[in-house]
């Protein structure tokens, strides 16, 4: 007489493992593409550090892009760093992000209901010595993406 193994435990384990894998995969993918405001500032300054001012400009909010054409920004920014400062790159550190409600980049500018401020410290080692520039950078939503803006007050 043959004994039949009626245990369905191995099948159940496989099914549970597949379900857990699918749940894990969905959670991981749901976070892909989402960046927090500090990530955008990091990317912006990484491009600037590499001398890729055109890619940095792409991280500007449209109100900043109106203020600086891409060509003008690339030309002026590279001129300031390379010609005036006499440097090819710089290091930078980011402070913590801080939420700011109802922020305006200038007195006559539109109000952003939610913005994040990140203090950025750039260190330049130039022919004139080492110096630091500290600037507050703001990040606001444009549709569903975080974008960089500066204060002009």
Q: How many other CB atoms are found less than 10 A from the CB of residue 97? A: 18
Q: Which residue has the higher pLDDT, 115 or 153?
A: 115
Residue tagged 């760093």 (tokens): 81
pTM: 0.75
- Dump pLDDT digits (tens) for 133-149: 999 999 999 988 999 99
Q: How many other CB atoms are found less than 10 A from the CB of residue 96? A: 9
Domain ranges across the chain: 35-150
What CA–CA distance (Å, rounded) separates 139 from 133?
A: 19
When the pLDDT of each residue in the chain is averaged and rounded to a whole number, the result is 86
Q: Name the percent of the chain lying above pLDDT 70.
A: 84
- Dump pLDDT digits (tens) for 23-45: 665 654 544 455 799 999 999 99
Burial of 99 (0-12, 13-18, 19+ CB in 10 A): exposed
Mention the CATH class of domain 35-150. Answer: alpha beta
């Amino acid at each position: 007489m043959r004994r039949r193994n009626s245990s369905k435990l191995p099948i159940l384990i496989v099914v549970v493992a597949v379900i857990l894998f699918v749940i894990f995969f969905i959670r991981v993918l749901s976070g892909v593409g989402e960046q927090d405001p500090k990530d955008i500032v990091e990317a912006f300054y990484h491009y600037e550090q590499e001398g890729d001012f055109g890619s940095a400009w792409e991280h500007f909010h449209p109100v900043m892009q109106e203020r600086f054409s891409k060509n003008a920004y690339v030309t002026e920014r590279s001129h300031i760093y390379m010609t005036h400062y006499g440097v090819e790159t710089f290091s930078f550190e980011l402070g913590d992000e801080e939420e700011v409600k109802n922020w305006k980049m200038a007195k006559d500018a539109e109000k952003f209901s939610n913005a994040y401020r990140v203090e950025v410290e750039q260190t330049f080692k130039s022919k004139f010595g080492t110096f630091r520039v500290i600037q507050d950078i703001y990040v606001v939503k444009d549709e569903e993406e975080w974008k960089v803006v500066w204060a002009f007050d």
